[in-house]
Amino acid sequence: MSETVIRADDQLVTFINVIDVDPERQQELIAVLNEGTEKVMRQRPGFISVNILAGKDGKRVINYAQWRSPEDLQAVMGDPEAQAFAKKVAELGTPGPGVYSVASVHHA
């Protein structure tokens, strides 16, 4: 039986960026995302986690990040260092960013 946890009152925000990329540049894009996470994102207030997912066909990379509040995410989005990494990402692929809230969580 699975458990469902609803967090309607939680301010936690999830940033998901689905990036279309040429397969020959997928690993380069992942390296840029890893560098940006280590050098910039992890150092900012409210950072919780980043998961970087590689499409098996090489055509997509998903950057799944969580922040403690909308304000923390907004601050990092306006950060010049974060914007520099976002520019590098856009040079390697076509980003499709969005901000989400956790509606439910299911565990085994």
Read off the tokens for 7: 């967090």
pLDDT above 80 for 9: no
CA distances from 28 to 22, 41, 59, 73, 86 (A): 10, 18, 12, 25, 14
Domains within the chain, CATH numbers bracketed: 19-102 (3.30.70.100)
pLDDT of residue 103: 82
Say if residue 48's pLDDT is above 80: yes
Q: How many CB atoms lie within 10 A of CB 21?
A: 22
CA distance 61 to 76: 21
Q: What is the pLDDT of residue 104?
A: 83
Instruction: Give the tens place of pLDDT for each residue, 90-105.
Output: 999 999 999 998 888 8
The whole-number pLDDT of residue 108 equals: 87
* Mean pLDDT to the nearest integer, 5-18: 75
Identity at 24, one-letter amino acid code = E
pTM of the shown model: 0.86
